Structure 1
Amino acid sequence: MSHDIAGPRAATTALALLACCATAAAQALPEVRVTDSDTTTTEGTYTARTLDIGKAGLSPRETPQSVSVITRQQLDDRNLTKLEDALKSTVGVNITRLDGAGNYNSIQARGFDIGAVLLDGLPIAQGPNYATALDLSLYDRVEVLRGPAGLLQGAGEPGGAVNLVRKRALNSLRIGGGAQLGSFGLRRLEADLTGPLNAAGTLRGRVVVVEDRRDSFVDLLFSNKHAAYGTLELDIAPSTTLSVGATRQRVRSMVDQGLPAYATGQLLDVPRSTVVGTRANRQDMDTRDVFAELEHRLGNGGLVKAALRDVRRDNFYRSGRANGAVAANGDFAFETVDLRGQLKDRSADLYLATPFTLAGREHRLLLGVNRNERESGENNYAYGPGSTVNIFVPGYVGMAYPQLRLPGFTATTKRTETALYGQVQFSATERLRLLAGGRLSWAEVEVEQASDGQVTSRSKPGRQFTPNLAALFDLTPQLTAYTSYAESFVVQSQLDSARQLLPARSAKQIEVGLKGEFLNKRLQTQAALFRIDDVNRAMADPVVSTASIPGGEVRSEGLELEASGQVAPGWDVLAGYAYTRTEYLKAPATQLGLAFAPLTPRHVVNLSSRYAFRDGALRGFSVGGGISWRSSFYAQAGALRLVSGNDALANLQLGYAFNDHVELGLTVDNLFDKTYYEKVSGLARQNFYGTPRSAVLALKLRY
């Protein structure tokens, strides 16, 4: 299956050309090494010295909430290029696949959806069909904060926030790139060039280009991605820098919405290559991102920063898919649907982060204001006639796809939020720090008819304040204990019996933990206990059947442990464990006491290690591997329960560095070829097998 792309022979030729270019460049360019003082990149390290996600320039140890950083080195070592794959090995995070190609996913943490996806600290519309499709080659690292992120997002689910930190233009010439060949038709090329554009180094640029084409273990399934990113940085003055840039990413793939299940609740036992779809199935996504930043560095180490970002996305999918449970003879209902979506997302942010001295001690202050506007087109979809097909006689694959006419967008949903936020970290003693802050938000959601612009519904809960409080105490020079309280809110659209909007949902989290930095800060550890209560959840009014009441309440509580970094020269480790228990506290009798997030496993373990030989006959070689395990999880379908999980998966990494510039690596995932369901959902569709054993051979170039 070609899909108008070059075959493996072309990719192999590209590998050879890159290797030749590498040899030539090695003779022409001086050696470039990433040092510990370079805070703009996480190449060569499994730890991050500072975080971008909180805007205050704090280290992970100074941040009184659970935070994980997926560094550029971690991404490179495991050949990770998709956000969904990177987050799967992050402690406390659960990825729910919504399509076979991996372009549609939802992200959960601690049983709740992630409330905010950020690009360089600015929120963007998350949407399952946006964030996880972004190619990670454009970014230096991924930061994951778990629990309510009310200071960062205001309105949003309490699962946390994911921040993608883009690669910056550097003041020294660096040339990078690579190529990958892998199982199921993977062919990938990428190039990365950065450096000064004038003799003084006051103007710098960076360009990253990616071409990614792959098939799948599922019949017919493919995904092609083209991505390009460019940025310019200009030092207007010695302490003032203007940055502008743009990203364009286009994805074309076959859409696969998973397998149905038997009417008894039993999952299908069919070959993993089985597809439920037609040859005409497809999905297209076109994303454009433009940004500008102005940064002024103060003499005392503080920072004033203004940022603007505009994101546009158009998407279309055409899907033949299952629409009912499978009968004993293999028959099930089949439907076709076309859908077109459109999203506009604009953000503006201005903040000051600065240290200040009071009573002989240094403290930190963060003050800011931001605004976010989102517009999304609604209801532009059409269904074709249904039919009955058979899972064991897949004639539906070649069926003629009906010509469907989309009606156009019938409405536009507009979401706006304006907010003031602030935080102060007060050094009460040499070892005790107190943190207090909050966000004052004005959020509004309204729906306009496309025909005349008339507003048909409006949700405006008024002013919302989300506080953030914490205390940190240094037990030793390497170990800090902390406790924190955080909130977030979610605007609700349901009406009560008086036809008034329900009050916003409110999530409140209490967290206590320990954070450590060891071995000259090369090894970072953290342990956290948490409890989140989400109240005012809409539930059916027991008196007025057409109304709702804010009487629902759920709880999530658990434990998270994580260690990442270098335990000895050349030996990097990443280890995590998460225990998460979710429960309905106030709900209809049929739900009381049950898990409100049954797709979140109770226990998750992720272990990985990599050792690079530095001396002797094995100098240049590296070897690594890991194991991941999830306890059972389930999806409720009426009285039936679809169960999966309790599977352990192993991976292997082998590498050889020819010199400081050229490295060849091999990764093998699902080493023992375990057959399992990665996700279960319901009887009609959305049940996905996990990927069989797969290998990726990657050539990396750095100059």
Structure 2
Amino acid sequence: MKRSLFWGLLAGAASPMATAAMGAEPVAVAAPDAPDNDIIVTGSKAEQAGDRQSASPTGLSLSLRETPQSVTIVDRERIDAFALTNVNDLLTQTVGINVERTETDRTEFNARGFDITNFQFDGVGLPMAFGIQSGDLDTVLFERVEAVRGANAIMTGVGNPSATINYLRKRPTTDVRAGAAVFGGSFDMWRVEGDVSGPVDASGRLRVRVIAAHEERASHLDYNRVNRDVFAGLVAWDATPDLTATFGYSRQDNRSDGVLWGALPLVYSDGSRIDYPRSASTSAPWTYWNVLDQTAFAELAYRPGGDWSVRGVATYRHSDERAKILYAYSPNGLPDPATGRGIVGLVGLYPSTNESLLFDGYASGGVDLFGRSHQLAFGVSTGRLDNEQFYAAPDAGVDYGDIRQLASFRALEPAFGTPRREADVRDRLTRAYGAMHVNVTDRLKGVVGATAIWLRTSGLSYGADQARRNEKVSPYLGALYDLTPNVTLYASYTDIFNPQNEVDVTNTRLDPAKGTSIEGGVKGEWFDGRLYGTAAVFRAKQSGLADFAGQFVAGQPGQAGTSYYIGRDTTSTGFEVEVAGRVANRWLLSGGFTHLDIEDEAGQDARTFIPRDTLKLAATYTVPEWRDLRLGGQFRYQGAISTPSGVAGRPIVQDGFATLDLLGGVRLFDRVRADLNVRNVTNARYLGTLKYGQAFYAAPRSVVATLRFAY
């Protein structure tokens, strides 16, 4: 009966008509008599020893308490409850992570004072160029998202001592599940999702999962609209009881109109702020930024015996970007405060293609040495990333005139010639890594490991040779001591090695940033592991770290409108406090506080666009006897920020601010639930970033209503 139902649901999901009626992850709405879901961000060991799908910085199968670094998990329950349908919104609410909304369709992330460049899928991935996310990455594909803060030296090999973000894909399930959801909200937003999963044969050896979503929305910004389609299909086959093959394909098509390249110029030449409405945009209706991202992977997981596991993954990713964009800037100094003139527009047609191929082989399991049991993990990965960029020049530029009249300005669309290739760059990265969890005594544990990398880059970018050859071995050392049955002290150390993509004013890549990272703290678990807490202090130092110094204009070596940097020695110190889990039977809580100090080699404040203090809290309270009534909220505070050095004029400062989101929902019928999210309840007015001296205002108060079905 269930298999018949499953095939009917799957056939419906595969049809175009059904795609618009499908919904989100089915576990979001439990049956009335289902037990509470305690797994919010508390974490656990992998189901199989050595299953490295989670974002462990060591590659070992360790719980959060056994991991000598800070880890935060945002699970499907929280994603659905607060309608976190894209990764940018999700990471905005993640402890210790800052989201720099530099443009409408390019977003950057940082943690502990440094940019995040490592993004993985099921624990496998290549560093993302510049750490920039193009378009909105949809969360419908993921079971949960994990953030490992600090240096992830073993499992990534390169990068900053910031964080590694790991997206855990939804997988085919052994039982039949189906779900549908419909969303509607402010700014003409509507969305539908679908998710069907289950076994195909009676034995359950062959399982499939189909996921789909469609979203359309306008924006609080003038001209801006987004239309997004997402699809994924996965197949899992138990070839033998010990060998499982999994294949998957996903496709995300993000189409944006009226997009920002750069953002609003913020000050006049006398340093006074330019007054804009919250909807202000320097874009035009004819601009667009379309990103088609396709990924296919094949995975073999073998369990040879005992708790040993061997896993091999091949991943292919292809991304096409098509952008016609308009960048507002002042070529001769900042605009005049009397006339408002001095801002012109740079227009460009920019097709580009990114293609990556990655192979990863990994083994882990237990070993007995000196009368005690330990864990061992090791692996090899190799991959390449090819990037091609094209550019077509317009037949005319844009003069904005009086910037104070921006709301009534309409830029005319120019004509373009044939795009020509301006960049063709290939990166090759090979890694060998290993780690061991050493069971020294019943209370004292150690983690030792290392990774060796070989990085090769070749090609040209806007006439500049990008060739480089880097090799490095980075150690990892960690120690944990169980102070009590519930409390563990820990410390970890690793080297930092970051082959940077940023270029200097000659359009030449900067040398790799090098340094050290150390972290220590205390972790605890209470109420049978349902409540988890941690407090950590950290220090990271990097030499030659890229620091924004300006932007290329026409006639300079680099692409006009892009940024150039200088290398600075930078030190980040700070502390974090975090708690997550079930405080009481009906009350789920997660959140934490982060404090930073970031200085350059002269002891001066550096990277001042990053807030020194952030506080993030989320909580839900349920009343099962009142139709599963659920009330909740998300609170976020960040301290003051200012423009960094290299931005013309006196520093621009944004004071600290706070935002509050509220949630309320009930079960309407047996498997149907309605939720209402109100975002930015206090209608706080703030800029998304000050990193480049340009910015746009974040969204005002808005609402999202969700109707969700789960089987």
Task: Tell me, yes or no, whether TM beats 0.5.
Answer: yes
Stretch moving more, 202-211 or 665-674: 665-674
Identity of aligned residues (%): 28
Tell me the equivalent position of 1:611.
621
1:625 to 627, 633, 636: 633
Pick closer, same or farther for the CA change 1:408–1:298 going to 2, 3 Å.
Answer: same
2:264 equivalent to 1:259: yes
Q: Cα deviations across residues 85-107 of structure 1 (Å, max 9, x unaligned)? A: 1111112111111223xx31011
Amino acid across the alignment from 2:516: K
Query: Shift of residue 282 of structure 1?
Result: 0.9
Q: CA deviation at 1:679?
A: 1.8
Partner SS for 1:438 = strand
CA contact (8 A) 1:322 1:332 kept: no
Distance 2:290 2:510 in 1: 37
SS at match of 1:75: helix
For 1:125 and 1:549, locate their aligned partners in 2 and report how far apart those are by CA, in whole Å.
Answer: 19
Q: Partners of 1:105 and 1:179 in 2: how far apart?
A: 27
Q: Deviations over 1:26-51 (max 9, x none)?
A: 9xxx9699879xxxxx8963432236
What is residue 40 of structure 2 aligned with on the other side?
45
Q: Please report how far the alpha carbon of residue 581 of structure 1 lies from its aligned counterpart in structure 2 after TM superposition.
A: 1.0
Query: Aligned residue for 2:9?
Result: none
Give 1:269 deviation, angstroms.
2.4
For the residue of structure 2 that corresponds to 1:314, the secondary structure is strand
2:379 to 368, 372, 377: 368
| Among 217, 224, 242, the residue aligned to 2:227 | 224
Match of 2:480 in 1: 472
Matching residue of 1:658: 668
Q: Which moved more, 1:119-128 or 1:369-378?
A: 119-128
| CA distance in structure 2 between the aligned counterparts of 1:388 and 1:184, rounded to whole angstroms | 27
Q: Could you tell which deviates more after superposition, 472-481 or 118-127?
A: 118-127
Superposed CA RMSD: 3.1
- Residue equivalent to 2:49: none
Distance 1:342 1:502 in 2: 23
Q: How does 1:547-566 map to 2 (within 5 A)?
A: 552-566=568-582
Aligned to 1:513: 521
- The one-letter amino acid of 1:691's match is A
Aligned to 2:311: 305
Q: Normalized against structure 2, the TM-score is what?
A: 0.86
**2-structure distance, mates of 1:231, 1:361:** 40
Matched, 1:458 2:474: no
C-alpha distance in structure 1 between counterparts of 2:436 and 2:378, whole Å: 9
2:442 match: 430
Residues 304-351 of structure 1: CA distance to partner in whole angstroms, max 9, x if unpaired?
000010111011211223212443233242212221221011111001
Contact 1:15-1:179 at 8 Å conserved across structures:
no
Aligned to 2:541: 533
5+ residue gaps, structure 1: 1-12, 37-41, 541-545, 586-591
Q: In 2, Cα distance between the equivalents of 1:83 and 1:106?
A: 11
Q: d(CA) in 1 for partners of 2:591 and 2:544?
A: 36
Query: How far apart in 2 are the matches of 1:580 and 1:662?
Result: 44
**Correspondence for 1:543:** none
Matches within 5 A, 1:117-516: 117-127=119-129, 130=133, 133-254=136-257, 255-257=259-261, 258-263=263-268, 264-324=270-330, 325-328=334-337, 329-335=339-345, 336-378=347-389, 380-382=391-393, 384-394=396-406, 397-448=409-460, 456-461=465-470, 463-491=471-499, 504-516=512-524
Q: Report how far residue 303 of structure 1 moved.
A: 1.1
Q: Compared with structure 1, are the counterparts of its residues 428 and 207 closer, same or farther at alpha carbon in structure 2 (3 Å cutoff)?
A: same
Which amino acid in the other structure matches residue 44 of structure 2?
R
Cα distance in structure 2, aligned partners of 1:581 and 1:645 = 17
Query: What is the deviation of 1:369?
Result: 0.3
C-alpha distance in 2, partners of 1:667/1:15?
24
Q: Work out whether residues 339 and 406 of structure 1, in 8 Å CA contact, stay in contact via their aligned partners in 2.
A: no
The alignment status of 1:593 with 2:599, answered yes or no, reads no
Change (3 A) 1:440 1:186: same
Q: 1:179 to 1:376 in 2, by over 3 A?
A: same
Q: Distance in 2 between matches of 1:492 and 1:672?
A: 40
| CA–CA separation in structure 1 for the residues paired with 2:670 and 2:382 | 45
CA distance in 2, matches of 1:220, 1:495: 32
- Superposed displacement of residue 179, structure 1: 1.0
Q: Which runs of 5+ in 2 are unaligned?
A: 1-16, 47-53, 549-556, 558-563
The change in CA–CA distance for 1:502 and 1:175 in structure 2 (over 3 A counts) is closer
* Paired residues of 2:85 and 2:139 also in contact (CA < 8 A): yes
Q: 1:188 to 1:549 in 2, by over 3 A?
A: closer
Deviates more, 1:465-474 or 1:275-284: 275-284
Rounded Cα–Cα distance in structure 2 between residues aligned with 1:399 and 1:348: 47
CA-to-aligned-CA distance 1:110-144 (integer Å, 9 cap, x gap)? 11111311111111452455466221010011110
In the superposition, relative to structure 1, how do residues 58 and 659 fare at CA in structure 2: closer, same or farther (>3 Å)? farther
Q: Decide whether the 8 Å contact of 1:46 with 1:74 is kept in 2.
A: no
Contact 1:15 1:699 in 2 (8 A): no
Kindly indicate whether residue 707 of structure 2 is the aligned counterpart of residue 695 of structure 1: no
Contact 2:19–2:212, Cα closer than 8 Å, also in 1:
no
1:96 aligned residue (100, 103, 106):
100
- In structure 2, relative to structure 1, the CA distance for the partners of 1:457 and 1:187 (3 Å cut) is closer
Distance 1:94 1:149, change over 3 A: same
Structure 1 position 659, deviation (Å): 5.1
Separation in structure 2 between the aligned mates of residue 377 and residue 699 of structure 1, nearest angstrom: 42
- Find the residue that maps to 1:209 and give its secondary structure: strand
Structure 2: how far apart are the matches of 1:16 and 1:415?
39
Contact 1:666 / 1:698 at 8 angstroms: preserved in 2? yes
The number of aligned residues is: 653
What is the CA distance between 1:408 and its match in structure 2?
2.2
Aligned counterpart for 1:71 among listed residues 70, 75, 86: 75
| C-alpha distance in 2 between matches for 1:59 and 1:154 | 22
Q: Which amino acid aligns with 2:267?
A: Y
Supply the AA of the counterpart residue of 1:656.
V
Q: Is the 8 A contact 2:147 2:165 kept in 1?
A: yes
Greater mean alpha carbon deviation, residues 480-489 or residues 378-387: 378-387
**Residue matched to 2:561:** none
Which shifted more, 292-301 or 225-234? 292-301
Which has the larger displacement, 288-297 or 667-676?
A: 667-676
Aligned equivalents of 1:248, 1:549: Cα separation in 2: 34
Contact conserved, 1:235 with 1:241, CA < 8 A, in 2? yes
**Aligned amino acid, residue 418 of structure 1:** T
Contact 1:117 1:131 in 2 (8 A): no
SS at 2:103's partner residue? coil
One-letter identity of the residue aligned with 1:122: V
Distance change in 2, residues 1:564/1:381 (3 Å)? farther
